[in-house]
Amino acid sequence: METNPDECPPAPNHHSHNGAASTQELFDVVPGGWDRICEILHRKLGEDNFSRCFAGTSARVTGGGRLVISVPNPIHQLWIESNFQGVLNDAAAEVLGTAARIEFSVALESAQPFSKDAAPQDVKAARVVGT
């Protein structure tokens, strides 16, 4: 399936390991597994599609063949599921040696807690005036 890389949501760089053990690696059943999966995705999808769609992700392989992918937002998750699920499944199976159960986790770094006591804001709608 061909995709238009211009439609993919922008993303920051893929979180790659630099040799130091991270907290994420402590929970990985296959340390470095996500980096190897990303190498396969990069090769199969090309630079543009990979950097636009998988660069802002991180993941860990947990027990039971689960691959938990952290994405920046729900739209990013939907885009990957809609356009790259097959190649993602293939890459995960190649690295893990078996089919993985792929799950997504949305990273809500900038989410502000909702307060029911917050005062409503005055919002004015723009109006087009005929000439």
Least confident of 13-17, 43-47, 76-80: 13-17
**pLDDT score, position 40:** 96
The domain limits of the chain are 32-106
The label of the residue with tokens 């130091």 reads 20
Instruction: Look at the domain 32-106 and name its fold.
Output: GMP Synthetase; Chain A, domain 3 (3.30.300)
Q: How far is the C-alpha of 96 from the C-alpha of 99, rounded, in Å?
A: 7
The arithmetic mean of pLDDT across residues 51-75, rounded, is: 90
Q: How far is the C-alpha of 50 from the C-alpha of 35, rounded, in Å?
A: 13
Which tokens go with 18?
């630099």
DSSP 2-33: ---GGGSPP--------SSPPHHHHT-SSTTH
Task: Produce one character per residue of 45-61: b if its CB has 16 or more CB atoms within 10 Å, e if not.
Answer: beeebbbbbbbbbbbbb
> Residue 62's pLDDT band (boundaries 50, 70, 90)?
confident
3-state SS class at 61: strand
Phi-psi region of 80 (alpha: psi -120 to 50; beta: other; left: phi over 0): alpha
Q: How far is the C-alpha of 14 from the C-alpha of 21, rounded, in Å?
A: 16
Percent of the chain at pLDDT > 70 equals 60
Q: What is the pLDDT of residues 20-58, one digit of tens each?
A: 344 444 445 677 889 999 999 999 999 999 999 998 899
